[in-house]
């Protein structure tokens, strides 16, 4: 697999932005009836888990680069 151009922290921050977007957009889609609440909740929960994984990975990357 090719090495990523982006750090785990970069990826985590992008996921965080997506979560903020979903917090803004999903309630409107649910209100319009184009997205079910259960589906919105599931999609947010999945993205939250991904953010948590990348936060842990970012912390490990940053810790491995520290000397003190």
- Residue 33 — φ and ψ, nearest 5°? 85, 10
- What is the percent of the chain where pLDDT is above 70? 93
pLDDT computed for residue 22 by the predictor: 97
User: For the chain, what is the largest distance between any 2 Cα atoms, rounded to a whole number of angstroms?
Assistant: 53
The answer, yes or no, to whether residue 1 has pLDDT greater than 70, is: no
CA angle 39, 33, 25 (to 5 degrees): 65
Residue 2 pLDDT > 90, yes or no? no
Helix axes 37-65, 8-32, angle to 10 degrees: 170
- pLDDT tens readout for residues 51-61: 999 999 999 98
The CA distance from 1 to 14, in Å, is: 22
Whether pTM > 0.75 for this model: the answer is yes
């Amino acid at each position: 697999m090719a090495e990523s151009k982006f750090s785990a922290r970069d990826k985590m921050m992008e996921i965080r932005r997506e979560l903020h977007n979903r917090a803004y957009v999903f309630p409107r889609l649910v209100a319009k009836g184009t997205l079910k609440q259960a589906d919105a909740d599931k999609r947010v929960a999945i993205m939250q888990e991904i953010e948590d994984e990348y936060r842990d990975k970012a912390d490990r990357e940053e810790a491995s680069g520290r000397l003190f």
